[in-house]
């Protein structure tokens, strides 16, 4: 990923008075050098054995968000690194509801390049979309 140079950052700030007031170039620079990324994965029904999520770079998981896509009374989705849970079991029981991880285990949330995490459902009928918010390290 290309970095935004100090010269280009200055040009962006000067392009529009609004950009300079907002320090737009600086915000882009900060995001580029220490930014957050979103990793999105569909977790279909019958994912009880786990859906693989390959992480393409070293990062730290900052948040996990699930949007339920079916109604399933005991539905949950958990993110695991090997056999260790990274997140708690996020409730995924009501269609269209969005939930966030209540806990993220800080002893396993730092991920190395090409680590394969798994999203595991409680039962075969549970399904949703999972978005991981990660910070590149």
State the CATH number of the domain containing residue 126.
2.60.120
- Residue 136: phi and psi, rounded to 5, are -65, 135
The whole-model pTM stands at 0.73
Same domain, 81 and 97: yes
Same domain, 19 and 29: yes
Same domain, 18 and 49: no
Same domain, 54 and 81: yes
Same domain, 48 and 27: no
As a dihedral over the C-alpha atoms of residue 6, residue 135, residue 39, residue 121, rounded to 10 degrees, the angle is 180
Same domain, 53 and 29: no
Same domain, 22 and 62: no
Per-residue pLDDT 10s for the chain (137 aa) are 455 566 766 666 666 555 555 554 444 444 455 578 888 888 887 777 888 998 888 999 999 999 999 998 889 999 999 999 999 999 999 999 999 999 999 999 999 999 999 999 988 888 899 999 898 88
Number of domains the chain is built from: 2
Quote the domain boundaries for residue 49.
36-136
Same domain, 87 and 53: yes
Same domain, 29 and 40: no
Residue indicated by tokens 């969005």: 98
Same domain, 111 and 80: yes
Residue 135's alpha-carbon distances to 1, 55, 76, 88, 122, in angstroms, are 14, 12, 25, 19, 28
Same domain, 48 and 86: yes
Same domain, 64 and 3: no
DSSP secondary structure letters along 101-134: -S-B-TTT-EE-TT-EEEEEESSTT--EEEEEEE
């Amino acid at each position: 990923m290309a970095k935004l140079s100090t010269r280009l950052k200055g040009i962006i700030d000067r392009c529009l008075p609004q950009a300079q007031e907002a320090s737009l170039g600086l915000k882009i620079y900060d995001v580029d050098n220490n930014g957050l990324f979103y990793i999105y994965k569909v977790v279909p029904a019958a994912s009880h054995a786990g859906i693989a999520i390959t992480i393409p770079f070293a990062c730290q998981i900052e948040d996990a968000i699930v949007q339920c896509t079916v109604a399933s009374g005991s539905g949950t989705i958990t993110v695991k690194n090997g056999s260790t849970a990274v997140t708690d079991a996020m409730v995924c029981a009501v269609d269209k509801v969005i939930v966030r991880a209540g806990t993220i285990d800080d002893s396993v949330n730092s991920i190395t390049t090409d680590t394969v995490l798994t999203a595991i459902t409680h039962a075969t009928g549970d399904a949703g979309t999972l978005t991981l918010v990660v910070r590149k390290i």
